[in-house]
Amino acid sequence: MPELTDAQLDQLIKDIGLKRPRGGSQRKPIAHGTYNGYRQHVYRKEQACAECMEANRLYLRERYAKRRQGGGSQ
């Protein structure tokens, strides 16, 4: 079965007559190219895009460098 876009999934749910789960769990767009975007991919159990993977790599690199310098708050 092919992957559905969020818009296609919304339309399918509407056509079938299903109700959305409580709590407003409608998916929000991913902030691609950011660490938070990478975390959104992980949360959704998706393969992260190249931009988000690069943002995660840079975030972890910066975090590691701060810890090595003793700048981390522990």
Give me the residue spans of the domains in the chain.
Answer: 31-74
CA distance to 19, 44, 65, per residue, from 50 (Å): 34, 16, 22
Angle among Cα 63, 38, 4 to the nearest 5 degrees reads: 175
C-alpha span between 12 and 43 (Å, rounded):
22
Cβ neighbours of 55 (radius 10 Å): 21
Tens digit of each residue's pLDDT (9 = 90 or more) over 7-52: 888 888 889 988 766 655 567 889 999 999 999 999 988 899 999 9
Q: Given this model, what pLDDT does residue 71 score?
A: 65
